[in-house]
């Protein structure tokens, strides 16, 4: 289980709930299938899937859990087409136009007819709590997915005192500073070959570069002219390659081959899950504080 995209949050107070207790609490909102008239439903699922026994999987004092969400696939274009057909029939038969309120009623009726027959799409969002480090780490590419998990976890626990980390320098400012000169880069971090630059004005201009030398005169000229870095591919200690975004999310994480080989469990799926989780979480426990330290110590002058 390697997390590829993460949003991470800091606990304002120590998380003291045991894995056994957390599992019991998660059971109160266990995942289920959508009812006939439900558009969506969500709950907690077993991180190990069919092989799992619990809703909480614990390795090295780290607590992994999984949000399962079901959504009915009901295209808006289909509903709109059916509604227009029904409205046209009424107009032809009654010889009068169909008003806004009547159209809304037609739409509600169509939803009731279509929902029980709609296809269901399931998605899973994994996360884990690191009580010692004081982190909640969510494996999600979008902030929306991460927020969905946090909202349900807060409802499940009754309270959840996590916040986005605050830094002295914004990721946008720090990345822009790092890109200007190799000497500005913090120890242990390097830039790779991808960047997105933006300049805010009446019309926002965006420059996206891939597979280029970010230390080139051309790239740095864009920064010198006032453009800001909104995301940039980087590397940490030759262990992790990633793309840092201006909202402090980390996308497209790639773990180096040595780490992946170190986790090889020889074909045992459950042992492989545990090995991946243990090594990944250990590396993220070092990487996240290191990244925040650079953002708190970066000197832009």
Q: Express each pLDDT in 175-185 by its tens digit.
A: 999 998 888 99
Range of the domain at 256: 171-297
Q: Are residues 289 and 229 in the same domain?
A: yes
Cross-strand pairs, 71 = 40, 121
**One-character DSSP codes across 251-281:** EEEEE-HHHHHHT--TT-HHHHHHHHHHHHH
**If you average pLDDT over every residue of the chain, what do you get?**
91
Task: Check whether 201 has a pLDDT greater than 70.
Answer: no
Q: Is the pTM of this model over 0.75?
A: yes
Q: Of 229, 255, 231, 257, give the one whose Cα is nearest residue 244.
A: 231
Q: Are residues 87 and 44 in the same domain?
A: no
In a domain, 39, yes or no: yes
Point out the least confidently predicted range of 15-29, 220-234, 236-250. 220-234
Longest dimension (CA), the chain: 77
Q: Are residues 35 and 97 in the same domain?
A: no
CA-CA-CA-CA torsion for 122, 123, 128, 134, nearest 10 degrees? -120
**Confidence class of residue 152 from pLDDT cuts 50, 70 and 90?**
very high
Residue with tokens 């497209």: 252
Residue range 232-257: mean pLDDT, rounded? 96
Residue range 102-112: mean pLDDT, rounded? 86
Integer Cα distance of 227 and 71 in angstroms? 40
At 202 the pLDDT is 54
Q: Are residues 176 and 149 in the same domain?
A: no
Q: CB burial class (10 A; 0-12, 13-18, 19+) of residue 293? A: middle
Task: Check whether 84 has a pLDDT greater than 80.
Answer: yes
Q: CB burial class (10 A; 0-12, 13-18, 19+) of residue 16? A: exposed
Q: Are residues 27 and 51 in the same domain?
A: yes
8 A C-beta contact, residue 256 and residue 239: yes
8 A C-beta contact, residue 90 and residue 98: yes
Q: Are residues 112 and 144 in the same domain?
A: no
Task: Check whether 267 has a pLDDT greater than 80.
Answer: no
Q: What are phi and psi of 53, to 5 degrees?
A: -115, -20
Q: Are residues 97 and 246 in the same domain?
A: no
At 181 the pLDDT is 86
Select from 130, 163, 196 the last residue of a domain: 163
8 A C-beta contact, residue 91 and residue 100: no
Integer Cα distance of 214 and 220 in angstroms? 7
Half-sphere exposure of 45 (CA within 13 A, CB side): 21
Number of domains in the chain: 3
Q: Which two tokens stand for residue 170?
A: 């914004």
Residue range 24-33: mean pLDDT, rounded? 95
Cross-strand pairs, 11 = 162
Half-sphere exposure of 181 (CA within 13 A, CB side): 6
In a domain, 292, yes or no: yes
Q: Are residues 64 and 20 in the same domain?
A: yes
In a domain, 1, yes or no: no
Angle at 254 between CA 52 and CA 258, to 5 degrees: 85
8 A C-beta contact, residue 199 and residue 214: no
Integer Cα distance of 37 and 32 in angstroms? 14
Q: Are residues 66 and 152 in the same domain?
A: yes
Beta-strand ranges (E) seen in the chain are 6-11, 40-45, 57-59, 62-73, 119-130, 135-139, 162-163, 189-199, 205-210, 228-236, 240-245, 250-255
Q: Are residues 123 and 94 in the same domain?
A: no
Name the range with the highest mean pLDDT among 109-118, 149-158, 256-265.
149-158
Select from 131, 163, 195 the last residue of a domain: 163
Q: Are residues 246 and 283 in the same domain?
A: yes
Residues 6+ positions from 222 with CB-CB distance below 8 Å = 197, 207
Q: Is 41 helix (H, G, I), strand (E, B) or coil?
A: strand
Q: Are residues 232 and 276 in the same domain?
A: yes
Task: Check whether 264 has a pLDDT greater than 70.
Answer: yes
């Amino acid at each position: 289980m390697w997390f590829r995209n993460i949003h991470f949050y800091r606990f304002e107070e120590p998380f003291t709930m045991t894995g056994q207790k957390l599992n019991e609490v998660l059971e109160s909102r266990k995942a289920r299938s959508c009812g006939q008239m439900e558009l969506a439903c969500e709950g907690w699922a077993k991180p190990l899937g069919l092989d799992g026994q619990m809703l909480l999987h614990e390795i090295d004092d780290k607590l992994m859990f999984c949000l399962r969400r079901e959504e009915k696939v009901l295209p808006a274009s289909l509903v709109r087409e059916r509604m227009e057909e029904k409205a046209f029939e009424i107009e032809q038969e009654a010889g009068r136009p169909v008003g806004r309120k009547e159209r809304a009623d037609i739409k509600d009726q169509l939803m009731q007819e279509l929902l029980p027959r709609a296809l269901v799409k399931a998605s899973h969002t994994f996360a884990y709590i690191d009580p010692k480090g004081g982190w909640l780490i969510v494996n999600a590419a979008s902030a929306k997915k991460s927020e969905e998990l946090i909202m349900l976890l807060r409802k499940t626990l009754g309270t959840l005192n996590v916040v986005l980390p605050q830094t002295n320098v914004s990721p946008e400012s720090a990345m822009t500073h790092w890109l200007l000169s190799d000497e500005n880069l913090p120890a242990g971090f390097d830039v790779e070959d991808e960047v997105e630059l933006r300049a805010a004005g009446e019309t926002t201009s965006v420059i996206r570069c891939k597979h280029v030398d970010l230390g080139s005169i051309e790239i740095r000229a864009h920064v010198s002219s006032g453009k800001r870095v909104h995301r940039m591919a980087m590397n940490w200690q030759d262990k992790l390659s990633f793309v840092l975004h201006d909202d402090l999310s980390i996308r497209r994480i790639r773990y180096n081959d040595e780490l992946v080989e170190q986790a090889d469990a020889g074909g045992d799926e459950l042992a492989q899950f545990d090995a991946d989780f243990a090594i990944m979480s250990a590396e993220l426990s070092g990487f996240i504080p290191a990244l925040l330290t650079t953002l708190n110590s970066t000197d832009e002058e």
